[in-house]
Amino acid sequence: MYRRSFKDTKSSLGSPNPNFSKPMVALRFLRALSLVRCSGPGARSPSYRARGIRRAAYACMAASAGPRRAWSRALLRKIRRRPGRGLRRPRAVIRRRRPVGGGDPLEVALRRLVPGGGCMEYCRLLEEAADYVKCLAMQVRLMQTIVDSASHVNSID
Amino acid sequence: MLRGQLQCLSPRFLLFCSFPSSAASFSILILILLLLRRRRRRRLSELKNIAFSPFACFSRRFFVSGMEKERFFGGGWKSAHAGLLPEVSAFAGDEHLPHSFVGFGWEQPVHGQEAHAQQLESALSSLVSSPSSNAPDGNDSVVIRELIGRLGSICNSGNVSPSSRCHSAHASYYSTPLSSPPKLNLAGADHQRQRMLVNQVAAAPFLADQGFAERAARFSCFGAAEAGQLSRVSSRQSLAKEVAASYAMMAGSSSSPEASSASEKLTAVVAEHNARKRKAAPKGKGKAAAPSSSSAMDPPEEENSDSKRCKAAEAGGADKDAPVKPKTEQNSSDDGNAKPPEPPKDYIHVRARRGQATDSHSLAERVRREKISERMKLLQDLVPGCNKVTGKAVMLDEIINYVQSLQRQVEFLSMKLATLDPQLEFDTETLLSKEMHQVHVPLPQQVLFPLDMATSAFSLAQLPLKLAENPPDSMFSSLQLPPIDHLANLWEDDLRYVVQTGFPQSQEAPFSSGALRAE
């Protein structure tokens, strides 16, 4: 189902990853949220939960973005590396295809901001940055609505 | 029968000659001849001699094939509407040359040099007549091919076989003949090649196929580029500019964008060749000057204006290209190539280039730069408030600031959600329904359908299984893992646990209801 949904969105919107599957993001995020909530309502500190929620947000964003995107792959890699795995699986990942000369501070900053931006060419960096910005904006909007509805509900009560 | 044909054809020819297309072609021919005369007066005599020699040898065949010629002419006229040369050939019999020309009332100014022109055209006619003898009455393209082949052979001292050059797949008649002379040019002498160049490219406006004219121009430029001398380079450049100017002039208003693009490309090609020879900024000059020349629409004085334009555009090109590093290597890092041009100029209008090593490099770099500018435009649309900003540096700064602000917002909202969390446990249904409502607005239908199917058909516990199956990437199967450390082992188990503790109905209902409502 979800594969078809990905393909459909891709074919209909004509781009490799349109990331218009907002319900997907919402679904995943809410599921993750619920997990976070039910896992440690009292046992964990809010900061720990906040960090967990943030990771959940990034993971949902990357998941809905699709594996076609370099930044989503890098983001997930980064997230999955967090759970203290002693053994790093020796993956045949070819990193640093084109090591950057780092001539421009702006570009270096952009590379640091965008996940997976260290190995890409400038063209691809811009492309990935555009997609990343789009997904990030959507995620922020989603979280904002959740918070608003939650606070609204709370205020009503 | 022949006489009758001729008599019935003659008024048609007159009519034909009065057509604007033919008039334009005549004027172009005049232009060619004027250019020729202006440049290489002495060459004309040579041409004349050369022309007359095959003319003489063809004359016999001409007489013999008079009938075929008429027939060819008739066939050509029936099918051709832009065929200048066939008519010229058909009408210009050897002994009737001056009469035929005068008789049709061409706009040719009656100078002393008209004799040369007429003789040249008589040579053309003889050329046409000879192939017409071979292939009468219907193989118009083949005939014209042979004609132009012989024309090219005349201009190139007749050392290349014309029939071997056969172009195919072109709509207009001149496309096929004009393609062969460009190829023939590659083997001929410089000046003759240049003249052929002018001939063909100036005759390019005949063509309805703009792309072909551009190709012909490029061929001629490539052919001229093999001259390899600076003096020739300058003359060639001026020639190319005049060609571009004439092309732009003749192409007409409707095709002016293509003409200008073709002339730009032409001058770009010329400019690239120039840079290869000179390794200076005549390329920028060529590019800057050619549009101005095409806009000026008159063939300027070659050398003087060339030098002037060179100086002027060099100054302009220098300050334009100053930030463009003289890195001729295409393999230099993309950031290095992209970054220096950012600050001084608008990335959208990058056109001038420094001297590059080869054309392929410069072209590829131009393509890359266009890609980068396209991406920057995309980013500009995404980032709010970037419409007024121009220039890569400022844009990048804005983008970086925006990304940083978004990331800070995510952090802040997650903290807020964490603090709000304990109060939200029973509000997931309303939350989800609200989310579905708010979030479903921009959705395409296909997304909703599988969502509905998923929600209606399965419980929540089975969804992650499906999610795990579909993505081939192992990362994404593990992506379904909860982002929380202690729940990292198995997504499905935890979810089932969660489901069993009382979430399923509350979550399934809003899913399906939300999906249905959204649809």
The answer to whether B126 touches B89, Cβ cutoff 8 Å, is: yes
Query: Contact B436/A26, CB-based, under 8 Å?
Result: yes
Q: Return the higher-pLDDT residue of B41 and B187.
A: B41
User: CB B498 to CB A38 under 8 A?
Assistant: yes
**pLDDT tens digits, residue range B135-192?**
444 455 555 556 555 655 555 554 444 444 444 444 444 444 444 444 444 444 445 5
Q: Which of B335, B378, B435 sits opposite A122 (nearest CB)?
A: B335
| A87 min Cα distance to partner chain B (Å) | 15
Q: Is B491 exposed, middle or buried (0-12, 13-18, 19+ CB in 10 A)?
A: buried
Does the pLDDT at position B354 exceed 50?
yes
Which of the residues B458, B476, B484 would you substitute to probe the A interface, choosing the one with the greatest number of A C-beta atoms within 10 Å? Answer: B484
Q: Do B399 and A31 touch (CB under 8 A)?
A: no
Q: Which residues of A touch B370 (CB under 8 A)?
A: none
The share of chain B scoring above pLDDT 90, in percent, equals 1
pLDDT value of residue B408:
92
Interface test with B, best of A44, A79, A107 (most B CBs within 10 A): A107
CB contact under 8 A, B333 and A41: no
Q: Which of A27, A37, A121 sits opposite B424 (nearest CB)?
A: A37
> Which candidate from A84, A101, A133 shows the least CB-CB separation from B382?
A133
Q: What is the mean pLDDT of chain B?
A: 51
What confidence score (pLDDT) does residue A53 get?
80
Record: contact B415-A46, CB cut-off 8 A: yes
Is it the case that residue B332 has pLDDT exceeding 90?
Answer: no
Assembly ipTM: 0.82
pLDDT tens digits, residue range A54-96? 888 888 888 888 788 888 888 888 887 755 555 555 555 556 6
Q: Which residue of B has its CA nearest to A40?
A: B422
Question: Once rounded to an integer, what is the mean pLDDT over residues B6-35?
Answer: 55
Using 50, 70 and 90 to split pLDDT, how confident is the model at B28?
Answer: low
Question: Does residue B343 surpass a pLDDT of 80?
Answer: no
Q: What is the pLDDT of residues A93-111, one digit of tens each?
A: 556 655 566 678 888 888 8
Residue in A23, A103, A140 closest to B440 by CB:
A23
- Higher pLDDT residue, B397 or B498? B397
For the segment A27-49, the average pLDDT, to the nearest whole number, is 70
- Indicate yes or no: CB of B371 within 8 angstroms of CB of A3: no
pLDDT tens sequence across B60-98: 554 444 455 445 444 444 444 444 444 444 444 444 444
Q: Work out the pLDDT band at B503, boundaries 50, 70, 90.
A: very low
Nearest by Cα to B217 from B267, B167, B144: B267
B422 neighbourhood in chain A, CB within 8 Å: 37, 41-42
The residue of chain A with its CA nearest to that of B441 is: A22
| Cβ-Cβ contacts under 8 Å, A113 against chain B | 400, 403-404, 407
**Which chain B residues are closer than 8 Å to A133 by Cβ?**
379, 382-383, 399, 402-403, 406
Can you give the C-alpha Rg of chain B in angstroms? 35
The whole-number pLDDT of residue B404 equals 92
- Average pLDDT of the residues in B457-470: 40
For the cut 90, the answer to whether the pLDDT of residue B405 exceeds it is yes
pLDDT-derived band at B301, boundaries 50, 70, 90: very low
Max mean pLDDT among A14-18, A140-144, B244-248, B299-303 falls in A140-144
Q: Closest chain A residue to B472 measured between Cα atoms?
A: A67
**Between A19 and B290, the higher pLDDT residue:** A19
DSSP state of B172: S
Nearest to B410 among A37, A54, A63 (CB): A54
From A23, A58, A121, residue closest to B439, measured CB to CB: A23
Query: Tokens in use for B95?
Result: 């002994």
Spell out which residues of chain A touch residue B415, defining contact as CB-CB under 8 Å: 46-47, 50, 53
Mean predicted lDDT score pLDDT of chain A: 72
Q: Rounded to whole angstroms, how far apart are CA atoms B137 and B148?
A: 18
Chain A residues closer than 8 Å to B342 by CB:
104
Q: Using the beta-carbon criterion (under 8 Å), do A113 and B407 form an inter-chain contact? A: yes
* Cβ separation B406–A5 shorter than 8 A: no
Tell me, what's the pLDDT at B432? 55
Query: Which pLDDT value is given to residue B37?
Result: 67
CA distance B291 to chain A (A): 30
What would the mean pLDDT of B331-349 be, rounded to a whole number? 45
With an 8 Å Cβ cutoff, are A147 and B413 in contact? yes
pTM (2 decimals)? 0.38
Which residues of chain A have a CB within 8 Å of the CB of B399? 110, 129, 133
Q: Is B462 exposed, middle or buried (0-12, 13-18, 19+ CB in 10 A)?
A: middle
Among A53-62, B216-225, B433-442, the least confident range: B216-225
Lowest mean pLDDT, pick from A27-31, B371-375, B427-431: B427-431
Chain B nearest-CA distance from A38, in A, is: 8
Chain A residue numbers touching B487 (CB-CB < 8 A):
35, 39
Average pLDDT over residues B322-333: 41
pLDDT for the residue B137? 46
pLDDT at position A115: 84
Q: CA-to-CA distance for B368 and B345, rounded, in angstroms?
A: 17
Q: Tell me how far CA of residue A57 lies from CA of A53, A129, A150, B153, in angstroms.
A: 6, 18, 17, 74
User: Which of B438, B473, B487 comes nearest A35 by C-beta?
Assistant: B487
User: pLDDT higher for B401 or B339?
Assistant: B401
Residue of chain A whose alpha carbon sits nearest to that of B334: A122
Q: From the CB of residue A59, how many other CB atoms can be counted at a distance below 10 Å?
A: 24
Q: Which of B324, B330, B334, B445 is the best mutation test for A, with the most CBs of A within 10 A?
A: B334
| Mean pLDDT of the region B266-292 | 45
Residue B215 pLDDT greater than 70, yes or no:
no
Contact B418 A50 (CB under 8 A): yes
The nearest CA of chain A is from the CA of B320 a distance in Å of 20
Q: How far is Cα B480 from Cα B473, in angstroms, rounded to an integer?
A: 12
Q: How confident is the model at residue B121 (pLDDT cuts 50, 70, 90)?
A: low
What span, in angstroms and rounded, lies between the C-alpha atoms of A17 and A130?
12
The three-class DSSP label of residue B450 is: helix
Chain A CB contacts of B448 below 8 Å: 23
CA distance B383 to chain A (A): 8
B502 — pLDDT class (breaks 50, 70, 90):
very low
How buried is B339 (Cβ within 10 angstroms: 0-12 exposed, 13-18 middle, 19+ buried)?
buried
Whether the predicted pLDDT of A133 surpasses 80: yes
Q: Looking at residues B502-511, what average pLDDT do you find?
A: 40
Beta-carbon separation of A2 and B466 below 8 A: yes
Q: What share of chain A is helix, strand, coil (3-state, %, to 5)?
A: 70, 0, 30
Picking from B36, B34, B126, B124, the residue whose alpha carbon sits closest to that of residue B84 is: B124
Task: Please list, in sequence order, all residues whose beta carbon lies within 8 angstroms of the beta carbon of residue B491, skipping any fewer than 6 positions away.
Answer: B464, B468, B480, B481, B482
Q: Which residues of B touch A103 (CB under 8 A)?
A: 333, 335-336, 339
Of A52, A107, A130, the CB nearest to B339: A107
Residue with the larger pLDDT of the pair B23 and A135: A135
More confident residue, B142 or A52: A52
Please give the residue that has the higher pLDDT: either A28 or B341: A28
pLDDT of residue A114 exceeding 80: yes
Residue B444 has its nearest CB partner, among A9, A82, A121, at: A9
Over its C-alpha atoms, chain A yields an Rg (Å, rounded) of: 18
Nearest CA in chain A to B403: A133
Closest A-chain CA to B419: A46
